[in-house]
Chains A and B, each alone.
Chain A
Amino acid sequence: DGGITQSPKYLFRKEGQNVTLSCEQNLNHDAMYWYRQDPGQGLRLIYYSQIVNDFQKGDIAEGYSVSREKKESFPLTVTSAQKNPTAFYLCASSMAWGAMGETQYFGPGTRLLVL
C-alpha cells in the first residue's frame, strides 16, 4: 500500500465528454501501467509506459489516451470514442520494465460511471 495514488475515487462521465484519471507514484519507478477491470473479470491492459516520455498501446487502447511527461505521473484520458467506459480503472507501477521490475504495485483505483 502507499506510494501510488489515484484520483478521483469515483468519476461520472456524460455523453460525449472526455475525462482524465490521475495516477501519481512516489516510488521512483520507471514503468507504469493502466488496466481496466469489468465486474467479475480480470485485468486488461490499456496502456503502459516503460520510461518517462514513452508509452505503448496495450490490448484495449482504443478510446483512451495517455501521457508520460513526468516520471511520477501517468494520467489516462477516457475519450468520447470509448463507447462503454463504465469500469474500475487501476494504475500500477513497477521498478523497471523487464527482468528487474516484474512486481506490480497498484493504486486504489478509480470507478468510472456514465450518466
Chain B
Amino acid sequence: GENVEQHPSTLSVQEGDSAVIKCTYSDSASNYFPWYKQELGKRPQLIIDIRSNVGEKKDQRIAVTLNKTAKHFSLHITETQPEDSAVYFCAPRGGSASKIIFGSGTRLSIRP
C-alpha cells in the first residue's frame, strides 16, 4: 500500500523566519497533495493543496511545491507568526479509487 513519511516530526523556528516541512510518498499514481493544520485540541483543517499538473501553489505566506519525479511535496511558511504554531499533516491521495493516507504530522513551534 501507500507509504507516507513526513519530516521533520518537530520543528522550532524563530518568529519571522521560514519553515519547511517535507512529505514523501510511494504511490506514483498519487494526484492530489494537501496540507492540513491542526491546532491544539482542535480539528484538522485544509490550508493548501496542489494537484499533479501544477508544480507550485502559493497563498499569501504559505506555499506548496511538488516534485512528482522524486515523489515528494513540501509546505513552506514564510514570515512565521505565533498563530502558525500547530501540527501539520500531509495527506496525499493515490489513484482516484485510493484512500487518503495521513502523514504522522509535524509539530511546529514558533519562538518569540
Q: CB within 8 Å of B: which residues of A?
A: 1, 35, 40-45, 48, 58, 90, 98-99, 102-104, 106-109
Report the interface size for chain B: residues with CB under 8 A from the other chain.
23
Q: How far is the CB of B63 from chain A (nearest CB, A)?
A: 18
B45 contacts A106, C-beta separation under 8 Å? yes
**Given A42-B103, A42-B105, A107-B43: A102 in contact with B97 (beta carbons within 8 A):** no
Q: Does B89 count as interface, using CB distance less than 8 angstroms?
A: yes
How would you classify the secondary structure of chain A's contact residues: helix, strand, loop or mixed? loop
- The closest CB in chain A to the CB of B4 belongs to A42
Task: Tell me which residues across on chain B come within 8 A of A48, comparing CB atoms.
Answer: 99
Task: Tell me which residues across on chain A come within 8 A of B32, comparing CB atoms.
Answer: 99, 102
**Can you show 23 pairs from A to B with CB atoms below 8 A apart?**
A1-B45, A35-B102, A40-B105, A40-B107, A41-B104, A42-B89, A42-B102, A42-B104, A43-B89, A44-B102, A45-B100, A90-B43, A98-B96, A102-B32, A102-B49, A103-B46, A103-B49, A104-B36, A104-B46, A104-B91, A106-B43, A107-B43, A109-B43
Hey, what's the 0/1 contact readout for B83-112 against A, CB within 8 Å counting as 1?
000000101010011011111110100000
Question: How far is it, in angstroms, between the C-alpha of A98 and the C-alpha of B44 when the chains are bound?
Answer: 20
- The closest CB in chain B to the CB of A48 belongs to B99
Hey, what's the 0/1 contact readout for B43-81 against A, CB within 8 Å counting as 1?
111100100000000000000000000000000000000
Question: How far is it, in angstroms, between the C-alpha of A41 and the C-alpha of B9 when the chains are bound?
Answer: 10
Task: Tell me which residues across on chain B come within 8 A of A107, comparing CB atoms.
Answer: 43
Closest 9 CB pairs of A and B: A106-B43, A42-B104, A43-B102, A98-B96, A102-B32, A99-B96, A42-B102, A42-B105, A106-B44
- The closest CB in chain A to the CB of B10 belongs to A40
